[in-house]
């Protein structure tokens, strides 16, 4: 009996090796044998990832009882319950973004106008995190890409969590305090129609400033300094890059000047 190569995971599931699958006409009986074997061994779930080059195998898997778990540019992840009611962990449910509050020595705040907005709407520079990217790195990168301004991460000050975002997913948006390291603006015209240093009081009271943006900037200016980057010795791996944000032992005013 031909059984597809697989590896057991620590949750009682089996993961088929998609790098070593037989040709189409041999795949169907091998898959059926594999399902029978794994059920007999007490496995709960069977997983199979198929890249676009193996998309012709998807109908065979669906006919065997697999369902779509998630998909991206790299391919589709399929799952089969070998035991009725077996728990299947969900895929990503949230988008994560970060915006930067940058205030220069003249008490001016860096703000942008996004290209797709049909009316004037000054907001913080920022954007979505890339896979495997930390919040502190992402917000510095986004500010640089959108405005050309170099900056240094200081603290995480607040966040907003809301539902009903893109594709029905939820969204978490972190607001970070950054220290500007340059002042000359160079916008990314593909995303930004305008970027400028605006007097802080003018921005907070400007008719084109949304109350949400006024609120989060005010929060970032409160005493206390926000949450600072911290690490735990011997925690995590180079691949996972764990990071913590803790309150500072004693906020330092010079951090914000």
Would you state the pLDDT for residue 196?
A: 95
Element of type H or E holding 100? strand 94-102
User: Nearest 5 degrees, angle CA 174-CA 178-CA 184?
Assistant: 125
pTM summary value: 0.76
Would you state the pLDDT for residue 114?
A: 86
Would you state the pLDDT for residue 83?
A: 96
Q: Which sequence spans correspond to the domains of the chain?
A: 6-81, 94-231+241-248
Contact between 197 and 208 (Cβ < 8 Å): no
Q: Could you give the C-alpha distances from 108 to 34, 60, 99, 199, 212, in angstroms and in order?
A: 65, 61, 16, 4, 19
* pLDDT tens per residue across span 121-143: 889 999 999 988 999 999 999 99
Domain 6-81 top-level CATH class: alpha beta
Would you state the pLDDT for residue 237?
A: 62
Would you state the pLDDT for residue 208?
A: 83
Would you state the pLDDT for residue 254?
A: 56
Domain 94-231+241-248 indexed as CATH 3.90.79.10: yes
* Pick from 183, 208, 201: nearest CA to 120: 208
Give the three-class secondary structure for 73.
coil
CA-to-CA distance for 203 and 112, rounded, in angstroms?
11
Would you state the pLDDT for residue 244?
A: 61
Enter the tokens of residue 3: 């059984």
Task: Name the stretches of the chain with pLDDT < 50.
Answer: none
* pLDDT tens per residue across span 156-187: 988 889 898 887 889 999 999 999 999 999 99
């Amino acid at each position: 009996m031909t059984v597809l190569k697989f590896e057991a995971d620590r949750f009682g599931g089996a993961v088929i090796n998609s790098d070593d699958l037989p040709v189409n006409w041999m795949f169907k009986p091998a898959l059926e044998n594999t399902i029978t074997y794994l059920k007999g061994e007490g496995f709960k779930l069977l997983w199979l990832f198929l890249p676009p080059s193996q998309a012709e195998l998807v109908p065979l898997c669906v006919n065997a009882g697999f369902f779509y778990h998630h998909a991206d540019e790299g391919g589709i992840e399929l799952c089969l319950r070998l035991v009725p009611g077996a728990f299947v962990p969900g895929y990503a449910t949230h988008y994560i973004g970060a915006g930067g509050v940058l205030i220069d020595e003249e008490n001016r705040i860096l703000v942008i106008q996004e290209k797709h907005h049909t009316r004037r709407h000054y907001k913080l520079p920022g954007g979505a995190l890339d896979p495997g990217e930390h919040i502190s790195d992402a917000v510095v990168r986004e500010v640089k890409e959108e405005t050309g301004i170099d900056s240094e991460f200081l603290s995480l000050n607040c966040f907003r969590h809301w539902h009903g975002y893109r594709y029905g997913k939820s969204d978490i948006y972190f607001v970070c305090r950054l220290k500007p390291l340059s002042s000359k603006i160079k916008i990314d015209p593909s995303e930004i129609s305008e970027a400028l240093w605006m007097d802080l009081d003018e921005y907070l009271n400007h008719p084109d400033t949304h109350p949400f943006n006024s609120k989060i900037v005010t929060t970032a200016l409160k005493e206390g300094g926000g949450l600072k980057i911290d690490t735990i010795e011997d925690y995590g791996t180079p691949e996972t890059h764990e990071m913590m944000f803790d309150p500072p032992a004693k906020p330092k005013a010079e951090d914000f000047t």
